[in-house]
Amino acid sequence: MEIDSKLPNLSVNIFTQMSQLAQEHAALNLSQGFPDFDVTPELTALVKGYMDKGFNQYAPMQGILALRERIQNKVLKLHGARYDAQTEITITSGATEALFAAITAVVNPGDEVIVFEPAYDSYVPAILLNKGIPVFLEMKYPDYHIDWNEVRDALTDKTRLIILNSPHNPTGKVLDHKDIKALGQIVEGRPIMILSDEVYEHIVFDGVSHLSMARYPELKERSFVVSSFGKTYHTTGWKVGYCLAPKSLSMEFQRIHQYLTFSVNTPIQLALADIMAQEDLYLGLSEFYQKKRDHFLSLLAGSRFRPLACQGTFFLMLDYSKITQEKDHVFARRMTIEHGVTAIPPSVFYHEGKDHRVLRFCFAKKNETLETAAKILCKI
């Protein structure tokens, strides 16, 4: 049977494509953003313990209350923001589900949504499925700053939502106080909501602070703040995230969430609630990943790749223009096939395929993985 596709111009995403190519050629996979080291044994033991105790049935739609209370306390301590664990925090099947639910909750046909490129690839499909109109603005290469005058000029009476991502995937850019001030001035007095993708909230470097939308009352009241346990506890395959939002926004969010997944894995939620009591596991994450970033950078010092600034996330953008002028997707494929190292071509994060001759590498890997990959990259 033939059907009219709702996303006719989209194919299998780049992460699937490059990971499959890496597998076919036995390449070191520095493309998709997942660690190749193990979860802390204590966390997996907690999950097993709850399974063995019979906690294997549906969790509440909003999430296990103990976990929501842990999140409530963490956000209050880190950002001074108060969210009601009963009504303003929702546990989701990963951050991607949370992003989709938030967009679906507020974007109606004809609504415009500001999207900053390069943009994580789940934003635009969710907008299109809800018959919204993405309005693309470009972060300025090579430091990927936002021109807030362009944002102001792009606003219309149809602007419904601004999507932000900080720390930013794929560039590693982190919003600063000037960005927050400019954003606040732009949305003041306008019926515009914010969707803030903060899944790398605990991975920032060189003394940089993560400035959550939750910190600022005037932004908090109009924001969905999305985060992910997968990035924090090295458990990307468990697909557990959460969304913070004021009660009125959370009500709309949960109306969508209950018909997407209804609820999330019960024993994992209970285990995460327990492990969150160990604050050092997430407070020490920046130092942990900064060491990996710096180690990878030191290994690449003799290469022809030029690293761009990386303030956060576990991704590093490398300029390869001294090696070749091939388009990034061509070079990424050739590097996988001929050299055995796989990266992501960032042009896929632009609707018109903007290509700066850079590749995105994931350094959330064992040191031996990074060392092996760097030896190869230094020979290219």
Instruction: Tell me the three state secondary structure of residue 37.
Output: coil
Q: Mark whether 240 and 165 lie in a shared domain.
A: yes
Q: Mark whether 151 and 178 lie in a shared domain.
A: yes
How many Cβ atoms sit within 10 Å of the Cβ of residue 257? 28
Whether residue 335 is predicted with pLDDT greater than 90 in this model: the reply is yes
Whether residue 168 is predicted with pLDDT greater than 90 in this model: the reply is yes
The answer for residues whose C-beta is within 8 angstroms of residue 122's C-beta and 6 or more apart is 96, 99, 100
Q: What is the pLDDT of residues 296-319, one digit of tens each?
A: 999 999 999 999 999 999 999 999
Whether residue 96 is predicted with pLDDT greater than 90 in this model: the reply is yes
Q: Is residue 84 part of a domain?
A: yes
Q: What percent of the chain has pLDDT over 70?
A: 100
**Token digits of residue 77:** 């301590």
The alpha carbon of 18 is separated from its chain's Cα centroid by a whole number of angstroms, namely 18
Q: Mark whether 305 and 320 lie in a shared domain.
A: yes
* Average pLDDT score, the chain: 97
Q: Mark whether 240 and 360 lie in a shared domain.
A: no
Q: How many domains does the chain have?
A: 2
Please tell me the predicted confidence (pLDDT) of residue 215: 98
CA distances from residue 96 to 47, 89, 139, 240, 250 in whole angstroms, order as listed: 23, 16, 22, 10, 16
Q: Mark whether 252 and 291 lie in a shared domain.
A: no
Whether residue 16 is predicted with pLDDT greater than 90 in this model: the reply is no
What is the band of 9 on the pLDDT scale with cuts at 50, 70, 90?
confident
Q: If you ran DSSP here, which 8-state letter would residue 204 be given?
A: B
Q: Mark whether 317 and 360 lie in a shared domain.
A: yes
Q: Is residue 176 part of a domain?
A: yes
Please tell me the predicted confidence (pLDDT) of residue 11: 74
Question: For 89-95, what is the mean pLDDT?
Answer: 98
User: What is the DSSP secondary-structure string of 144-188?
Assistant: TB--HHHHHHH--TTEEEEEEESSPTTT-----HHHHHHHHHHHT
Strand (E) or helix (H) holding 242: strand 241-244
Torsion of CA 105, 145, 179, 15, to 10 degrees: 30
Q: What is the pLDDT of residues 182-202, one digit of tens each?
A: 999 999 999 999 999 999 999
Whether residue 12 is predicted with pLDDT greater than 80 in this model: the reply is no
- Report the distance separating Cα 28 and Cα 22, nearest Å: 7
The CA-to-CA distance between both ends of the chain, in Å, stands at 48
Q: What percent of the chain has pLDDT over 90?
A: 94
Q: Is residue 5 part of a domain?
A: no
Q: Which of 278, 297, 324 delimits the end of a domain?
A: 278
Catalogue the long-range contacts made by 20-28 (C-beta closer than 8 Å, 24 or more residues apart).
Answer: 21/333, 21/336, 21/337, 21/342, 22/336, 22/342, 25/336, 25/337, 25/340, 26/340, 27/336, 27/337, 27/339, 27/340, 27/341, 27/342, 28/340, 28/341, 28/342, 28/369, 28/372, 28/373, 28/376
Domain containing residue 294: CATH number: 3.90.1150.10
Whether residue 353 is predicted with pLDDT greater than 90 in this model: the reply is yes
Q: Mark whether 176 and 245 lie in a shared domain.
A: yes
- Give the CA angle between residues 116, 29, 299 to the nearest 5°: 90
Give the residue numbers spanning the domain of 226.
57-278
Q: Mark whether 296 and 364 lie in a shared domain.
A: yes
**Token digits of residue 306:** 């030029």
Q: Is residue 40 part of a domain?
A: no
User: What is the DSSP secondary-structure string of 362-380?
Assistant: E--S-HHHHHHHHHHHHT-
Q: Mark whether 265 and 202 lie in a shared domain.
A: yes
Q: Mark whether 132 and 206 lie in a shared domain.
A: yes
Question: For 155-169, what is the mean pLDDT?
Answer: 98
Domain containing residue 233: CATH number: 3.40.640.10
Whether residue 1 is predicted with pLDDT greater than 90 in this model: the reply is no
Q: Is residue 39 part of a domain?
A: no
Please tell me the predicted confidence (pLDDT) of residue 10: 77
Q: Mark whether 25 and 69 lie in a shared domain.
A: no
Q: Mark whether 26 and 125 lie in a shared domain.
A: no
What is the band of 175 on the pLDDT scale with cuts at 50, 70, 90?
very high
Please tell me the predicted confidence (pLDDT) of residue 120: 94
Amino acid identity of residue 282, one-letter, is: Y
Q: Is residue 318 part of a domain?
A: yes
Please tell me the predicted confidence (pLDDT) of residue 141: 97
Of 164, 233, 229, 234, nearest in space to 192 by CA: 164
Whether residue 354 is predicted with pLDDT greater than 80 in this model: the reply is yes
Question: For 25-40, what is the mean pLDDT?
Answer: 94
Dihedral sign for Cα 273, 275, 279, 285, please. negative
